[in-house]
A and B are shown apart, each in its own frame.
Chain A
Amino acid sequence: MNFFEILSELLAQSGFAALTWRNCVMFVISFILLYLAIKKQFEPLLLLPIAFGMFLANLPLAGLMTETEPWYEQGVLRIIYGGVKSSLFPCLIFMAVGAMTDFGPLIANPVSLLLGAAAQFGIYVAFMLANATGLFTPGEAAAIGIIGGADGPTAIYVANNLAPDLVAPIAVAAYSYMALIPLIQPPIMKLLTTKKERLCVMKQLRKVSKVEKVVFPVFVVLFCSLLLPSVAPLLGMLMLGNLFREAGVVERLSDTAQNALCNIVTIMLGTTVGATADGELFLRVQTIAIIAMGLLAFAFATVGGVLLGKLLYYITGGKINPLIGSAGVSAVPMAARVSQTVGSKENPTNFLLMHAMGPNVAGVIGSAVAAGFFMLVFG
């Protein structure tokens, strides 16, 4: 065997020989996402691991996502992916979200709950559209609709249960659009409100007592889980985290849930969700449809929230600024920040941030309930 034969043998067994056009396209997509994460700082905490996971999973012959028996001989990312597959990671992320969330603005202004519910409008619109295209099963359409809830963990949770083949495109769409909220929402908000409505100054929220804050998580889990048992894993973990925060006696657990645990799970969730974006599965017409539906879902969620905000503005005689309605999509706290930014453009002394947090955290509960509803119907 001469030198050139060895060289060609080596090349034939290398990844270069096994590289397909799909791998190359996926490389390009992952590089674009990396660019957006690093250079443009679009949700870098999520987009960076997702993009790199996508890159790793498409390396030919590397087998990072290969499934084998027994489980411990599987690809390293495939083993970690078990946490996504079993819905463990989305639930743990929800615990972290709970520990980070102050439900005070919602308790102080319960009307926010309606705004949080109205902004789930986008979920149902996207569901019906996705269903009408005929490309998806009703369960898959439901999972696509959930993108409109602007809630990454919920979207992954539902996709896992109702559309296991579509987890990657749904997660990528959900997280990408969440990063784009500051671009998607303001034009819609301005289109649907008048200058006078945007100028509306809201009354300072009342102070919420500790008892209310401690009872709230327990009560919400009890009520919602009895109503929709399938929502219990998500809401239960969310409110466990929140109770850590509000109880005031387990500072350390609250801190771990918010920081260390959240970061660990984010690394594993992000990387392996990205790694499910295998070229074979990802480069299909369905993916493009999902990206399009996701955008519509976000837009209609904003429309739903703002329109109900407008209605409440008139019912209350101008006590509620319709701009806080758009915060009903549950991306916390991005959507609330958008309300603040749009409001302060009209009147720099108007602070809507805390008012917008009410619908914002209500939106988390709202999209989890919508998810539970879909899973009950299609699961």
Chain B
Amino acid sequence: MPGKILNIKVAPGQAVKYGETVVVMEAMKMETEIVAPADGTVAQVLVKSGDSVDTGAALVTLG
């Protein structure tokens, strides 16, 4: 869904678990937490806070 990135909770190289919040975004004046779909390590963070993103945009890649 389209919205604005509010907060990035992870940095490249960080290990994350399934269900852990990686990015907080705002859409429809509501904060939505984007969680990791699987266990892994953050490879790249592709957005920064304040960015507007569209449907389907990649935010973070997991290695």
The chain A residues found within 8 Å of chain B, CB to CB, are 204-205, 207, 333, 336-337, 340, 344, 348-349, 351, 353-354, 357
Contacts and interface: CB of A to CB of B under 8 A. Distances in A.
B27 A353 contact: yes
Contact of A333 (B19, B30, B35, B56): B30
A357 B1 CA distance: 11
Given A333-B28, A340-B30, 9 more contacts: A205-B55, A337-B30, A340-B32, A348-B33, A348-B35, A351-B1, A353-B27, A353-B28, A357-B28
Contacts of B33: 344, 348
Contacts of A205: 55
6 contacts: A204-B55, A333-B29, A344-B33, A349-B37, A351-B1, A357-B28
A336 B29 CA distance: 11
A349 B55 CA distance: 15
Contacts of A333: 28-30
A205 B55 CA distance: 9
B28 A337 contact: yes
Contacts of B55: 204-205, 207, 354
A246 to B, nearest CB: 15
Contacts, number: 30
A353 B19 contact: no
Nearest to B19: A348
A353 B3 CA distance: 11
B28 A336 contact: yes
Nearest to B2: A354
Contacts of A340: 30, 32
Contacts of A337: 28, 30
A292 B16 CA distance: 48
A353 B32 contact: yes
Contacts of A351: 1, 32
B61 to A, nearest CB: 16
Contacts of A207: 55
Nearest to A205: B55
Contacts of B37: 349
A351 B28 CA distance: 13
A30 B55 CA distance: 44
Top 3 closest pairs, chain A to chain B, by CB: A354-B1, A333-B28, A348-B35
A204 B2 CA distance: 12
A353 B30 contact: yes
Which residue among B28, B35, B55 has the maximum number of chain A CB atoms within 10 Å of its CB? Answer: B28
Interface in B35-63: 35, 37, 55-56
A357 B3 CA distance: 14
B36 to A, nearest CB: 9
Contacts of B19: 348
A331 B55 CA distance: 24
Contacts of A344: 32-33
Nearest to B54: A207
Contacts of A349: 35, 37
A214 B35 CA distance: 35
Contacts of B32: 340, 344, 351, 353
A348 B37 CA distance: 9
A349 B35 CA distance: 6
